[in-house]
Amino acid sequence: MRVPLIAGNWKMNTTLREAVELTQKMLRDLDKIKNVDKVLCPPFISLAAIGELIKGTSIKLGAQNVYFEEKGAYTGEISPLMLADLCDFVIIGHSERRQYFNETGEIVNRKIIAALKVGLKPILCIGERLEENEAGRTEEIVTNQLNSSLTEISNITGLTIAYEPVWAIGTGRAATGRQANETIGLIRRKISKLYGERVAQDLRILYGGSVTADNATEFMQQPEIDGALVGGASLKADQFVSIVRQTSELK
Ligand code: PEP
């Protein structure tokens, strides 16, 4: 049985004070919801403060990015060793990083290797762009992204994959539950080919892209979907709590 996971990606939103306030608004309700892993991914500068707030609760913390070197002359970067002290999860390969910061498959691969090495649990984001989707290339794109991201990684214990069609992120145009379920099933079959059926059945694969309290049920009813990576709706305490609650009821 895979425990569902809902992660809130706050992206480049919230000052330290706002991040603390947002966490305080949902802390008690989130903590009470069982059978779902709940992960908050605030900006780096808020990780330590939110880590203190959630201490002793069932809520986990994640970072939105990481560099692949452990230390040295890399001005402005944050290393896996620094994060390992603060949080459990780290989002890697988000489409916004691929698009605006030129993250290639090779960089994503190095980041995953570096994260796993220090015991961080990567949430690897993959997904096709609109023109690729319309050209019927979804399978080819996600297969290539999986192959490049997981090069020379023999053990993926701790990994979560988030299938995030780029055309659905922040657009209000979510995939349908059935579309997402189909592609996630396909990703699971690819993982089975790479790592065996047992590993594939244990792997959590999330859907991400305009998930809200209004459409969460559609996704959580799907057998292949093990949770969600939530952007915009994770900045609204009542929406995020509702998504987690629906997940707990349906999974
Ligand atoms: C995301 O940031 O990964 C995401 C899915 O954003 P949104 O929910 O806003 O589409």
Say which residues have a Cβ less than 8 Å from residue 71's Cβ, sequence separation at least 6: 79, 81
Q: What is the pLDDT of residue 117?
A: 98
Q: Is the CB of 170 under 6 A from ligand 1?
A: yes
**Mutate which of 12, 100, 164 to test ligand 1's pocket (most atoms within 8 Å of Cβ)?**
164
Measured distance between the N- and C-terminal CA atoms of the chain, rounded to whole angstroms: 10
Cα 71 to averaged position of ligand 1 atoms, centre (Å): 30
How many CB atoms sit inside 10 A of residue 17's CB? Answer: 10
Q: Which atom of ligand 1 is nearest to the CA of 172?
A: 10
Interatomic CA distance for residues 238 and 230, integer angstroms: 13
**Mutate which of 5, 230, 235, 243 to test ligand 1's pocket (most atoms within 8 Å of Cβ)?**
230
Among 96, 103, 128, 164, the one annotated catalytic? 164
Q: What is the pLDDT of residue 132?
A: 97
| Beta bridge mates, 90 | 63, 122
Q: Is the CB of 208 under 6 A from ligand 1?
A: yes
Cα 124 to averaged position of ligand 1 atoms, centre (Å): 14
Q: What is the pLDDT of residue 205?
A: 98
113 CB-side CA count, 13 A: 15
How many CB atoms sit inside 10 A of residue 169's CB? Answer: 22
What is the pairing mode between strands 160-163 and 121-126?
parallel
Interatomic CA distance for residues 175 and 30, integer angstroms: 26
148 CB-side CA count, 13 A: 14
Q: What is the pLDDT of residue 1?
A: 84
Q: Is 19 helix (H, G, I), strand (E, B) or coil?
A: helix
Cβ atoms 114, 80 nearer than 8 A:
yes
Strands (E), 121-212: 121-126, 160-163, 204-208
pTM: 0.98
Q: Which atom of ligand 1 is nearest to the CA of 91?
A: 3
Q: Which atom of ligand 1 is nearest to the CA of 210?
A: 10
The CA-atom distances, in angstroms, between 230 and each of 31, 63, 74, 129 are 18, 14, 30, 18
What are the tokens at 78?
């944050």
What are the tokens at 20?
């603390």
What are the tokens at 72?
């040295």
Q: Which long-range contacts (CB under 8 A, 24 or more apart) does 195-201 make?
A: 195/156, 199/156, 201/2
Write out residues in the chain with pLDDT < 70, as ranges.
none
Cα 210 to averaged position of ligand 1 atoms, centre (Å): 6
What are the tokens at 204?
């959590």
Closest CA to 188 of 175, 198, 179: 198
Interatomic CA distance for residues 102 and 123, integer angstroms: 18
94 is known as an active-site residue: yes
**Residue with CA at minimum distance from ligand 1 atom 8:** 231
**Residue with CA at minimum distance from ligand 1 atom 1:** 231
